[in-house]
């Protein structure tokens, strides 16, 4: 027989949902429970809706070890989110050379799939007001690439020479739990070519 412990503040027979238990803030954190639960909600969305891996919540800066302005998430998307325009040109040239090196009789397009990169994710709510000063505070506290975790350190994690500016994926949650993602760069970046 299995016994389920029910919290005293819940009605008899009501057990918290898995997601509610997952997003509850762990004890002993320096951030408000709302910030922790928002970060864990985004982590859950990335893992189970978008198939990201190597996810973790960060509460302290990897560069200064000071507390972050708010908890951030880092992880590895299943495919690259952003390709620098100059890197895009080099990838196309390389794919074209490889296509020409294959048998001339083979038909086919260019196969350009850059390796995914670890990304910072900034969890926010739609009703929050973000200023350039607040974003600058986040960029000042993070490194260009999130620190390696135990699982990513085991694999190879070569630095991308084209990634020279910091960026975060702004994850905005609406009241109905819809999440929208935007890439935000620190400073001016070269526009992409279509």
Question: Residue 143 pLDDT > 90, yes or no?
Answer: yes
Q: What is the pTM of this model?
A: 0.74
Return the residue matching tokens 């850059």: 114
pLDDT at 172: 97
More confident: 94 or 28: 94
- Residue 15 pLDDT level (bands cut at 50, 70, 90): very low
pLDDT in tens, 31-41: 456 889 999 99
Stretch 168-182: mean pLDDT, rounded? 95
| Whether 185 contacts 166, CB under 8 Å | yes
Domains and CATH numbers, the chain: 32-82+116-185 (3.40.1350.10)
**Distance, CA of 107 to chain centre:** 37
pLDDT in tens, 68-79: 999 999 999 999
Stretch 33-52: mean pLDDT, rounded? 92
């Amino acid at each position: 027989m299995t016994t389920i412990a029910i919290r005293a503040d819940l009605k008899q027979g009501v057990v918290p949902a898995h997601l509610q238990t997952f997003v509850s803030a762990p004890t002993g954190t320096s951030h408000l429970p709302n910030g922790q639960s928002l970060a864990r909600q985004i982590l859950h969305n990335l893992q189970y809706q978008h198939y990201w891996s190597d996810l973790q919540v960060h509460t302290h800066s990897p560069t200064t070890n000071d507390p972050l302005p708010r908890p951030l998430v880092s992880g590895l998307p299943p495919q690259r989110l952003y390709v620098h325009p100059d890197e895009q040109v080099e990838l196309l040239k390389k794919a074209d050379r490889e296509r020409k090196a294959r048998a001339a009789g083979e038909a086919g397009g260019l196969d350009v799939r850059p390796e995914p990169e670890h990304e910072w994710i900034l969890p926010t709510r739609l009703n929050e007001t973000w200023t350039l000063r607040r974003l600058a505070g986040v960029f000042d506290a993070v490194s260009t690439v999130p620190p390696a975790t135990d699982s990513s350190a085991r694999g190879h994690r070569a630095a991308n020479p084209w990634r020279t500016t910091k960026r975060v994926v702004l994850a905005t949650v609406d009241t109905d739990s819809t999440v929208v993602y935007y890439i935000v760069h620190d400073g001016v970046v070269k526009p992409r070519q279509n």
